[in-house]
Chain A
């Protein structure tokens, strides 16, 4: 039998081990910034944690960022910028917010900003935007995406896109189609899809359908056919109009490609990432997505740039438009005033100046081009069209994307009316629409009218909450 002494020693060792474990678990990140004698520097510079790139970005991108960071810190001695790997996803946002590890400055897509706004999860930067003089400069449709009902502004729109029709030029050629003359109506899209499927055995046309992207694309094509999925009543309430001719025509189009023409391929469970992957691999003839996906297609999925083609979405019906979207730079809702001020300085310097200032634009384009990042991907101006077109002249020496292959888009996009995403319960209603897209793609006998009526009722119930 163990003596009391030995038992006490064993207990002591176990307790010490436990204490050590807990100390390790609770090590304070602040401790790393201590100045050596255990106390934090009293008038320390503001530490600003800013979002950089998604995990997996190449070393060149980080080197480029380090150079910009050093330059900013030289201009702003009171701010210590710390780059943090960051990728926007709903789940990680919530967890980082709850855990207090959200960067102080990060970006959010327009499509999610309304939801965050409704939840009160973004910092109000109205005063700062006004002070910098941007309030009247932003494209109003884009600014609308970051404003609440009272007109308060919750972020800086930094880049925007319009929905486009992306197509594979090689598959077009294989199918005997002219890649310089892409489809201009939805009927022509259907014919081209049929020809591609017939000639190549690949999916002539594909569409996203899961993780809310089905609802997103259905909404985009509804707008392109002159429909809207909801209307604002002007008093902060919304009426669901999902059961409209544009949405119905879109669903009938998808159903016809899948079951009548057999030109849709075999994948009805694609999302933003996987459809890009399939398209980059040459398995899809056409699909719709934001006009700025070229960078992801070539940089992340290894697409051959020569195969890439981009045109505008065909518009039909009364009052059609092209759904826009983009990114906004926002400040974490939990930071103190000093950090907020530093954050706004960083956003202005890092994201906004290159839209306004020739030197900043050229420096940015140069850094990107030297690290083989795409320069010149078609976007929508977040400020004025004139400024955007001027900025393209500033950076023309660095443009490295196949501009000619994007001409069908860039030549015609200005004729299209940009339309913002639905504001009420955006993501929840997209989620509601996903199964409808899936139903018409997987059930030959899907009753489109019944599906739309049900979705309309459910969407209205959400909007009335």
Chain B
């Protein structure tokens, strides 16, 4: 039996299905759209549209009453000329670096240690996660009490037990930022630990068994088995942390208001000040201009990060 070339080709490769509207409906497209629509609308109204408005506002001057006027890149120029911008950027980088040194390895270490625990794992997980349950504002206000700089302050009393002099904590330009990072690490570690613990469960037990047979210590097991197996999660957590620390606001806002002597003014706090504090809503243009710059910077950073880590990532 012979076949025509056309038929042969049809047999070898099925003709592409026509994706007409009817096919789309039959394929469940309408249902998909209907289910997605509320979310799409909510995102459009509350996320995407405000983002577009921010970008528009960054090239406008408005007092929220009269029609806005187009000012080109004036707002960007004003932000770049603000002497406080450099301080805010450096402070944010300092916070990010401290948070990375302190806040990044601790959850991994804690998760690895907790995964080694045989009994009461649930209790440890619950304890680690507890700070995440405390509302962030409440946590900061609590820590503000702990950080009381008088010799009777909670932490200063504890330091006194081991013969260390009272520390100024939030009241000194040198110590304010590290104090903020300690609290931020405490507050966020729980969530990261839970994620790492879950990721650790996916590491095949045989790998550990094999390492143990080879006589590997806990440290070597962690370094040669756990870390390589977790690297995908670690890379994602790292970029999430960088993005979060670049947008740090709550801690400096509530703990120090940016002081002492601008030691804890961050980029986001500066945006807030432009928009609300100093000009009472008269400087939305500068605030949105700096927001747009920050967003572009973080988007580029994320893109570069994923490009760089793509090869190393398990996925």
Contacts and interface: CB of A to CB of B under 8 A. Distances in A.
Interface stretch (B219-227, B242-250, B270-278): B270-278
A431 B278 contact: yes
Interface string B194-226: 000000000000000000000000000000000
Interface in B45-92: 45, 63-66, 83
Most A CB atoms within 10 A — which of B38, B66, B149?
B38
A266 B278 contact: no
B83 A427 contact: no
Contacts of A211: 257, 277
Interface SS majority for chain A:
helix
Given A435-B259, A443-B261, A97 B64 contact: yes
B261 A2 contact: no
Contacts of B153: 266
B309 interface: no
B173 A442 contact: yes
A12 B261 CA distance: 59
**Range for the number of chain B residues in contact with chain A:** 35 or more
Interface string A62-101: 0000000000000000000000000000110111011000
A438 B33 CA distance: 56
A18 B41 CA distance: 9
A120 B281 CA distance: 11
B28 A442 contact: no
B170 A269 contact: yes
A328 to B, nearest CB: 14
A211 B282 CA distance: 17
Nearest to A271: B257
B251 interface: no
A211 B272 CA distance: 12
Contact of B280 (A94, A271, A438): A94
B280 A112 contact: yes
Given A10-B34, A15-B37, A120-B65, A115 B280 contact: yes
A219 B149 CA distance: 27
Contact of B65 (A17, A334, A436): A334
A428 B278 contact: yes
B31 A94 contact: no
Contacts of B280: 90, 93-94, 112, 115-116, 119, 121, 427
29 contacts: A7-B30, A7-B31, A8-B31, A11-B30, A14-B35, A14-B38, A18-B34, A21-B42, A91-B276, A93-B281, A94-B64, A94-B280, A97-B64, A116-B280, A118-B282, A119-B280, A120-B66, A121-B282, A210-B258, A211-B277, A266-B148, A266-B171, A267-B171, A269-B257, A334-B65, A427-B278, A435-B261, A443-B261, A458-B83
Given A11-B33, A94-B276, A266-B168, 5 more contacts: A91-B272, A210-B257, A269-B171, A269-B259, A434-B257
Interface of B: 25-26, 28, 30-31, 33-35, 37-38, 41-42, 45, 63-66, 83, 148-150, 153, 168, 170-173, 256-262, 272-273, 275-282, 284
Enumerate the 6 nearest inter-chain pairs by beta-carbon distance, A residue then B residue, closest first. A94-B281, A11-B34, A18-B38, A91-B276, A119-B282, A210-B257
Interface of A: 2, 4, 7-8, 10-12, 14-15, 17-18, 21-22, 25, 90-91, 93-95, 97-98, 112, 115-116, 118-121, 209-212, 265-269, 271, 333-334, 427-428, 431, 434-436, 438-439, 441-443, 458
